[in-house]
């Protein structure tokens, strides 16, 4: 039996010798490479935290000592050590989630995987423990150095060190990267500490960064295999970073030296007040293909051949992201006003191509969506047209800035929301189903949803020419699919994809499809046609505000069905219903979308099926509705 097979829970680690712990770390890496290659998932981050996670579970007593991950994609090793070794269904329905999930284990505390929130969670939990007399419990926050680019981290640190009579340990996993290399002044400083070559540099670097966290203490330094290992103990009183902070600093520690890690964590644990352990790790550790990948060190992968790293499944065509990536470069070449901003997602959002072509016109602000949006308002004020590219789920974090800094000031800023709608395997916190419902309440906003490559290209061009308010372009994850041609376009820009009525006549059903749901609507219309039910299918392209022609076309139909892959509560369908009511159009309306609940990890296809958003389900519902005598059927002549 291997050592890994003997580990059913964290306390099984207690009796292992140092040699056995090192052997266990090697086994876990072999396990991760083999298993994640089969399913896809976050490989690089987890290879980097193997020793860190082993040491953490040997020193602390989870779940009595809650462990909060920021972000949760680095929790695979934690899952393994807490009795979850079946990775065969990782990120698939019925299998392990790709992030911590309370339903899986009592060891998982925080499910949301939006970065920079862990210290606030830890602050609240530790305050609760202190107030309720649970001083024998510790709270551990594992935060990547990339999360330090988020303002919430520093807000939490300010409060943690204001009331510090509690047991809170912050483990800063410093690998120089978030998704890609961490950016900004803080990152540059940490890098200078990470690559330091001697005792004096290590001491002075730590003092410069964490001086106001506490005064210099004893330094323990030892060198092994030419690498620096050690930790710096610090008390209170110096004047370097923040005068109001008082936190014990331990580090930098070699994140792959189990003995050094345990020593540092024990010291932080025994301090009795908030402490920060600075751990230096290597993303992708132990897997040469990841270590040598400069782009993202196999941060998130699909199914791959573990020996070559080559994807097993190839895309069936260009992705939405790749088309945007190509088009934004073309537009930037034509219009010097266009600049771009992203929040630590340069390659995932497709802005890497523009950064290569126009490096001086692309800004990566780190995991700081709020700052990105308000900075964009400033860029617009200065005469530029910023394009802010991020995942739809992260747009939630900057709603106030969109509302008060961009929209209120009528700033011409374009927001490109990748991974909008149902994304699937990443789970509840990463489905981008809220943008349509939340963003449409912003006064003056214009929201577009392309259905294919040509409409993506033209809508992005249109959006970047609007300079009197915010514009949004949203599209899903995955391949873009074949072109869906329009039969005609109305004067106000609505594409008619299928005509269900002759001139001056009426039809049964009007489908108003949001973006890629156009294909679903057309397929549903084909099914209905076989049953003698006539249908019109339109794609508004700009879904907010509602075009006048959408309302006018609805007059000639008995039932309007809106289809969107966003939450139906307050979605586009609701907006259309309001516009029809205002215009005195009494056509019945059925609003289809995702339910108002958090969607568990599964494939996009499975979740669409659950929501009733397939052509077959939609057609069946229409047939039942119109043949249940509630709505008369217009028979063909």
For each of the domains in the chain, give its residue range(s) and CATH number, in order of start: 4-291 (3.40.50.970), 320-474 (3.40.50.970), 489-626 (3.40.50.920)
Write out pLDDT tens, residues 355-413. Answer: 999 999 999 998 889 999 999 999 999 999 999 999 999 999 999 999 999 999 999 99
| Residue written as token pair 């059927």 | 633
**287 assigned ligand-binding residue:** yes
Distance CA 499, CA 488 (A): 10
The secondary structure element, H or E, covering residue 332 is helix 320-334
pLDDT at 541 over 90: yes
Judge whether 70 and 141 are in contact, CB under 8 Å.
yes
**468 assigned ligand-binding residue:** no
Full-model pTM: 0.83
Residue 243: CB atoms within 10 A of its CB come to 9
pLDDT at 202: 38
Which among 362, 399, 285 is positioned nearest to 26, based on CA atoms? 285
**Which residues have a catalytic role annotated?**
283, 369, 397
Average pLDDT, stretch 321-328? 97
pLDDT at 206 over 70: no
539 pLDDT band (50/70/90 cuts)? Answer: very high
| Residue written as token pair 């002044």 | 185
Residue 85: CB atoms within 10 A of its CB come to 17
Which among 422, 420, 479, 488 is positioned nearest to 452, based on CA atoms? 479
pLDDT at 217: 32
Contacts of 118 (CB under 8 A, 6+ apart): 68, 69, 70, 110, 141, 142, 143, 147
180 pLDDT band (50/70/90 cuts)? Answer: low
Average pLDDT, stretch 219-243? 32
pLDDT at 265 over 60: yes
DSSP state of 569: T
Which among 417, 397, 394, 387 is positioned nearest to 321, based on CA atoms? 417
Contacts of 502 (CB under 8 A, 6+ apart): none
Write out pLDDT tens, residues 137-167. Answer: 999 999 886 777 777 888 888 888 877 788 9
Judge whether 66 and 576 are in contact, CB under 8 Å.
no
Report which of residues 96 and 455 the model is more confident about: 455
Write out pLDDT tens, residues 496-536. Answer: 999 986 555 678 999 999 999 999 999 999 999 998 899 99
The 3-state secondary structure of 69-131 reads EECHHHCHHHHHHCCCCCCCCCCCCCCCCCCCCCCCCCCCCCCCCCCCCHHHHHHHHHHHHHH
Judge whether 564 and 514 are in contact, CB under 8 Å.
yes
Our CA angle for 447, 449, 451, nearest 5°, is 165
| Residue written as token pair 């295999």 | 225
Report which of residues 460 and 251 the model is more confident about: 460
Distance CA 394, CA 375 (A): 16
| Residue written as token pair 């305050």 | 127
**369 assigned ligand-binding residue:** yes
Question: Computed over its alpha carbons, how large is the radius of gyration of the chain?
Answer: 27
* Cα dihedral 557→561→563→567 (10° resolution): 140
Question: Lowest-confidence range among 299-308, 412-421, 625-634?
Answer: 625-634
pLDDT at 236: 31
pLDDT at 289: 73
Locate 436 and state its tokens. 């349509």
Q: What is the mean pLDDT of the chain?
A: 84
Report which of residues 279 and 187 the model is more confident about: 279
Question: Lowest-confidence range among 99-108, 301-310, 491-500?
Answer: 301-310
**115 assigned ligand-binding residue:** yes
**146 assigned ligand-binding residue:** yes
**113 assigned ligand-binding residue:** yes
266 φ, ψ (degrees, to nearest 5): -65, -40
Residue 604 to residues 175, 259, 477, 478, 480, Cα–Cα distance (Å)? 32, 44, 9, 10, 14
Q: What is the DSSP string of 361-381?
A: GEEE--S-HHHHHHHHHHHHH
């Amino acid at each position: 039996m291997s050592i890994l097979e003997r580990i059913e829970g964290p306390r099984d680690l207690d009796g292992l010798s140092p040699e056995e712990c090192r052997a266990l770390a090697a086994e876990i890496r072999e396990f991760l490479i083999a298993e994640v290659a089969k399913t896809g998932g976050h490989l690089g981050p987890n290879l980097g935290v193997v020793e860190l996670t082993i040491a953490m579970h040997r020193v602390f007593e989870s779940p009595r000592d809650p462990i909060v991950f920021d972000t949760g994609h680095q929790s695979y090793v934690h899952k393994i050590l807490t009795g979850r070794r079946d990775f065969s269904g990782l990120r698939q329905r019925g299998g392990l989630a790709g992030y911590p999930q309370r339903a899986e284990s009592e060891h998982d505390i925080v499910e949301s995987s939006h970065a920079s929130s862990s210290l606030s969670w830890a602050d609240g939990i530790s305050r609760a423990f202190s107030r309720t007399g649970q001083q024998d419990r510790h709270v551990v926050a594992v935060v990547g150095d990339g999360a330090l680019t988020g303002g919430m981290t520093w807000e939490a640190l300010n409060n943690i060190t204001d009331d510090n009579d509690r047991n809170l340990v912050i483990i800063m996993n410093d690998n120089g990267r978030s998704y890609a290399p961490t950016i900004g002044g803080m990152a540059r400083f940490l890098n200078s500490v990470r690559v330091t070559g001697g005792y004096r540099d290590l001491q002075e670097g730590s003092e410069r960064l964490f001086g106001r966290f506490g005064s210099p203490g004893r330094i323990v330094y030892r060198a092994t295999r030419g690498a620096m290992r050690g930790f710096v103990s610090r008390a209170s009183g110096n004047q370097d970073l923040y005068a109001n902070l008082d936190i014990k600093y331990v580090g930098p520690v070699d994140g792959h030296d189990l003995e050094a890690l345990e020593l540092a964590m024990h010291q932080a644990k025994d301090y009795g007040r908030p402490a920060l352990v600075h751990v230096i790790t290597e993303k992708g550790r132990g897997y040469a293909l990841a270590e040598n990948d400069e782009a993202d060190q196999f941060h998130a992968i699909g199914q791959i051949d573990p020996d070559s790293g080559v994807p097993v499944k190839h895309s069936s065509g260009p992705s939405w992201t790749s088309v945007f990536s190509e088009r934004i470069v073309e537009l930037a070449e034509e219009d010097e006003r266009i600049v771009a901003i992203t929040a630590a997602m340069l390659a995932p959002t497709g802005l890497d191509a523009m950064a290569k072509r126009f490096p001086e016109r692309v800004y990566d602000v780190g995991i700081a969506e709020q700052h990105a949006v308000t900075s964009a308002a400033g860029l617009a004020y200065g005469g530029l047209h910023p394009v802010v590219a991020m995942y739809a789920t992260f747009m939630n974090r900057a709603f106030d800035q969109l509302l008060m800094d961009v929209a209120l000031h009528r700033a011409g800023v374009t927001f490109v929301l990748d991974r909008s709608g149902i994304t699937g395997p990443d789970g509840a916190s990463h489905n981008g189903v809220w943008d349509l419902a939340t963003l449409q309440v912003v006064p003056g906003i214009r929201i577009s949803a392309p259905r294919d490559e040509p409409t993506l290209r033209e809508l992005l061009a249109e959006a970047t020419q609007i300079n009197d308010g915010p514009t949004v372009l949203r599209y899903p994850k995955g391949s873009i699919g074949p072109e869906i041609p329009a039969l005609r376009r109305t004067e106000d820009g609505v594409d008619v994809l299928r005509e269900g009525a002759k001139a001056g006549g009426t039809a049964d059903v009007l489908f108003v499809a949001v973006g890629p749901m156009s294909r679903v609507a057309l397929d549903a219309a084909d099914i209905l046609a076989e049953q003698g039910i006539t249908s019109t299918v339109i794609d508004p392209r700009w879904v907010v505000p509602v075009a006048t022609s959408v309302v006018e076309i609805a007059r000639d139909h008995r039932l309007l069905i809106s289809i969107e892959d966003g939450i139906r509560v307050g979605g586009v369908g609701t907006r259309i219903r309001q516009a029809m009511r205002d215009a005195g159009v009494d056509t019945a309306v059925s609003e289809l979308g995702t339910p108002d609940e958090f969607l568990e990890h599964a494939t996009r296809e499975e979740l669409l099926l659950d929501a009733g958003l397939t052509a077959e389900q939609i057609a069946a519902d229409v047939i039942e509705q119109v043949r249940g005598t509630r709505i008369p059927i217009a028979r063909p002549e």
